[in-house]
Amino acid sequence: MNPAAFSRSWCATRRLLLACVLMGVAAVAQAQTIRYDATTRVFRIDTDAVTYAFGVNENDQLQTLYWGARLSTGDALPAAHTNEGNVSFDPPTSTSLQEYAGWGGSMYVEPDLKLRYADGNRDLVLHYVSHRIEGDTLDVHLRDIRQPLDVTLHYVVDPATGIIGRSALIENHTKQVVTIDSVAAASWNLPAAEDYSLRYLTGRWAGEWQLQTRAITPGNTVLESRRGSTGHENNPWFAIERGGDWAEDHGDVWFGALAWSGSWRITVEQGVLHQVRVTGGFNPFDFAWPLAPGESLSTPVFYAGYTSGGIGEASRLLHRFELAQIVPQHPKPRLRPVLYNSWEATNFAVDQAGQEHLAELAASIGVERFVMDDGWFGARNDDHAGLGDWVVNPKKFPHGLKPLIDKVHALKMDFGLWVEPEMVNPDSDLYRAHPDWVLNFTDRPRSEGRNQLVLNLARQDVRDHVFKVLDDLLSHNDIAFLKWDYNRNWSEPGWPQVAPDQQQKIYVDYVRNLYGILAELRKRHPNVEIESCSGGGGRVDLGILGHTDEVWTSDNTDPFDRLSIQDGFSYAYAPAVMMAWVTDSPNWVNNRRTSLDYRFLSSMQGSLGIGANLLHWTAKDFAVAKKYVAEYKAIRASVQQGKLYRLLSPRDDSPHAATESVSQDGKQAVLFAFLHASQMKYPYPRVRLQGLDPDARYRWRSLHGAPVAGTLAEASGAYWMNHGIDLALKGDYQAAAIVFDRVGGKR
């Protein structure tokens, strides 16, 4: 090679190497989730689809700059600057969007932290001090302008979903007690706009998960529980959309959920400049936390995310996040087994022979987990006595639980048990020995709910006792599952054994001890799975889901009511954690009669359980159930852990409902369709699927021979998504389930 040619070749090679190096640098920059620009003092969080940014403004306060669709890596965000405010009544302190605001200075919006110093001063102004970035986490250190009162804001990012978790740690480095009056985990600031609307979930016992929608207007919308637990009335989840159409498959949606199982509050506030701010954390009602010198208080985590893909995609992102980051077995939780629970067959009248017979019947249809419900312990023959005495009733089980458990195992099922360890009946040995262990105010009435009182789990001795009885139960018996119930809310939340200024810490200490018990039980008994139940869906949140594998969605098991209950649940929580039982007809809730097919297909949209009285079933019933249980096992990975698409809503008195679950690998889709009542010979709406590979081919099959109006036996994903499928459903309370299996080649 001549010198000129060599020179040209080397220059080309050098340019190629330089380009590769620059591409590598760009790739590293692209992969870096959290960055800080020291020149502009801007923090920027980037995931595949989302950018979140805030900066330190000229007053050394943290100010939100952007939260929305992913910006280009080369787009440099400007430094944070306070706005001009709105004359003297609304100064920049209140109208500039602070990341975490103390109540002090000219602060008129909902603060994140309000406190009292020992000298009576209640002014708190937090300034930026320093920060630390480590992987996908960011800690930002703030301090009051006068006192050594420190706040560390913790950010943790899930790059896969763009969901950010935020929490705060408050530390008292003064020389006297500081009393915290209210403290939030975080505030989320949205871009200024006038056309936001809010979605949230409300309910009551037997009527949980009702989706509400309202326009966001100036002022505050407060979602909360003052009940000591998450509660049926509101759930700590929100979604905010720009515009009013709330499409499943498009539109800007900001959404979030608070990971806390005690009293909580989320405030959605629109300020004077149409700025929307969402603040969430401990409920300040009846709350006060004295923070001694050197002590600290950490908040729950408030998770939030953004999508431009509509409310359906917001739900799918939350589902993916919960299974990959929250539930105890994350990132790869086991599939939920098909469960049988004996409650509706026996109520409190349990005994060894009766439970063994039910176990034999359950095993005959393919059940994988047999659960004995209430009535097995103490003097427990109804709900008036025995709660708190977690010893096996010797009359019902003269040889303990082992013979029953051995029988269940011989039938190739694992064994589960109902417990309600946070409660006590006044008619119990535990209460007679320790009447001071319950929530109470001295010399005041002790209100009962379901003939029971709430144990004060904030007390260390109560916490230790509850842990010991459960640990002993699991250590001495081969138990794979606990149905952990909680059947009333708090009343008279006193704690007479501590100083008056310490009593209102009960709201936090109780829940922390609950989490501690669950965590330690799981550590000592790693194969035990737990269900959170509270009269149905009264304690469902991302906090309890960090310690339990599934939740009891509602005591209402009517399969038609369940369509709207399960629909609402799915906005915030994954089908994998949603227990749904097949029970008897007519249903005890409303005396509605439905077919066994309809009941199974309604329940198969979540984690399938059976709670019917098998003693009353016919041979045909057992044959139908056995077929559905086998079919469910073939599709449960798609249903529990796949992508959920809400195709037809059961809300607003619609006679139609349809959902579709697509497996993670895209090889299977399961369509569930329901008809409440035929009207005027109108056909069932054509159903167009979503989430399929348009170029792959799919063959359909019906789980129960549901009529399908003339359609292709096999077609492309594009066909099923654009043309759709016609279901010939007619009559009242009809249902169909169609499985689409990918059959190989491209079209």
Query: Catalytic residue numbers?
Result: 485, 555
| Alpha-helical segments (H) within 107-211 | none
- Helices then strands, counting H and E runs in the chain, come out as 13, 36
Spell 583-595 as b/e; 16+ CB within 10 A means b.
bbbebebeeeebe
Q: How many Cβ atoms are within 10 Å of 389's Cβ, its own excluded?
A: 20
Q: How many Cβ atoms are within 10 Å of 349's Cβ, its own excluded?
A: 11
Say if residues 146 and 133 touch (Cβ distance below 8 Å).
no
Q: Cα–Cα distance between 706 and 613 in angstroms, integer?
A: 26
**Token representation of residue 605:** 């949209």
Say if residues 569 and 591 touch (Cβ distance below 8 Å).
no
Spell 224-244 as b/e; 16+ CB within 10 A means b.
bbbbbbbbbbbbbbbbbbbee
Q: Cα–Cα distance between 579 and 486 in angstroms, integer?
A: 16
DSSP letters spanning 658-725: EEEEE-TTSSEEEEEEEEEE--TTPPPPPB---S--TTEEEEEEESS---B-S--SEEEHHHHHHT-B
Q: Quote the DSSP letter at residue 721.
A: H
Q: Cα–Cα distance between 129 and 138 in angstroms, integer?
A: 14
Q: Cα–Cα distance between 158 and 305 in angstroms, integer?
A: 10
Q: Cα–Cα distance between 93 and 101 in angstroms, integer?
A: 9
**Token representation of residue 677:** 């009542």
Phi-psi region of 708 (alpha: psi -120 to 50; beta: other; left: phi over 0): beta
Residue type, 629: V
User: Taking the CA of residue 604 as centre, how many other CA atoms within 13 Å lie in the half-sphere pointing to its CB?
Assistant: 34
Say if residues 673 and 687 touch (Cβ distance below 8 Å).
yes
User: Taking the CA of residue 308 as centre, how many other CA atoms within 13 Å lie in the half-sphere pointing to its CB?
Assistant: 8
Q: Cα–Cα distance between 673 and 729 in angstroms, integer?
A: 9
**Token representation of residue 462:** 């109560």
User: Taking the CA of residue 666 as centre, how many other CA atoms within 13 Å lie in the half-sphere pointing to its CB?
Assistant: 10
Q: Cα–Cα distance between 12 and 8 in angstroms, integer?
A: 6
Say if residues 357 and 600 touch (Cβ distance below 8 Å).
no
Sheet holding 62-69, edge to edge: 34-37, 42-46, 50-56, 62-69
**Token representation of residue 635:** 């599709």
User: Which of 487, 495, 496 has the alpha carbon at shortest distance from 539?
Assistant: 487
Q: Cα–Cα distance between 58 and 345 in angstroms, integer?
A: 68
Q: Cα–Cα distance between 409 and 401 in angstroms, integer?
A: 12
Four-point Cα dihedral 328, 333, 335, 339, nearest 10: 0
Long-range contacts of 3-12 (CB under 8 A, 24+ apart): none
